[in-house]
Amino acid sequence: MFCHNQFIIIKSIGSGTYSKLTFLFLGEIFHAYDTFTNKNVALKIEKVNISKNILIQEFLAISCLQNNTNPERQKVPKIYQFYQNLNKNFFAMELLGQNILTYMTSFPETNTIYMINEMLNCIEEVHSKGIVHLDIKPSNFVVSNNPLNLSVYIIDFGLSQPYINTNGDIVENQNIDFIGTIKYASLNSHNVSFLSRRDDLWSFYFILLEFLKISLPWNKINKSFKDKKELIVIIIVLIIESR
């Protein structure tokens, strides 16, 4: 299937959501072939007619995080171009490898400490550019395609927000809805409170516990809850009790 008379869609490799509470669809990610550059790329596509088009915000966030002067500090995919037409917005970016959990399951001899340190470096680089990610979870960390020079990258900036304005002042963005992934979200996110760098680190802490084979108390909660607000209240209580 062709897209924009330039890309051949090969297969779907993932999807994003704006809110795990409301399940508002954000977009899909495809493995595609760019017939202009003869490269395999990742395409992230968003329907224009959804209630909030935020793909351009993600494109701008990743563009801000490009490190052309020091490629070794590049912690996000290389981004190529943003496209728009009547039906959809989409952008092309570097096609990377498996997410970190899938990779470590496939290669159990992987140095866990190295991978954890790489993930933390990703978060640090994002924060250094005045951005909070707000959806830190294992599936949003992927590895490079080069097994001889294994690096970890952070992806999916659909929920990200700036925390510093043009004057260098910290911005307090008041949330009106739950943001993130229920399993890894911080207490502030569940309480729909002001979110900052600390909340990315709380999510990283929950990932770290899983890497250390420590089960999160709320993992055992029935995922078929029909009342998502009731589920969040229970998780809030469990987070507070486990601190």
Question: Which residues are part of the catalytic machinery?
Answer: 135
CB 57 within 8 A of CB 16: no
CB 145 within 8 A of CB 152: no
Cα separation, 177 vs 180, whole angstroms: 10
Which amino acid would we find at residue 214? Answer: I
Cα separation, 233 vs 192, whole angstroms: 12
Note the Cα 220 to chain centre separation in Å: 24
Cα separation, 76 vs 225, whole angstroms: 34
CB 67 within 8 A of CB 74: yes
Which amino acid would we find at residue 227? Answer: D
